[in-house]
Amino acid sequence: MARISELIISHPEMNSFAQLEQKVVEAARNGEIHLYMDIKPEYPDTPNKWEFRLEQAFYAAESPRR
């Protein structure tokens, strides 16, 4: 399970929502099958619909393209 808090803590170099979104994509591609939104990212560019954006990125990345 990929937890937003763990992704943020384990990558202190991140300073934008876009970078977090990329880490979510990487987690999905590395085999994670669940995404848990346990905290709201506090980046200046975090959009209002941040949960939707991260879910989209996660599930699009884990879906095999055929």
Helix (H, G, I), strand (E, B) or coil at 37: coil
Q: Is the pTM of this model over 0.75?
A: yes
Residue 50's φ and ψ, nearest 5 degrees, are -60, -40
How do residues 1-59 score in pLDDT, each as one tens digit? Answer: 999 999 999 999 999 999 999 999 999 999 999 999 999 999 999 999 999 999 999 99
Overall size of the chain counted in residues: 66
The residue range of the domain holding 25 is 2-62
The domain total for the chain is 1
Residue 53 CB contacts under 8 Å (≥ 6 apart), including other chains: 17, 21, 47
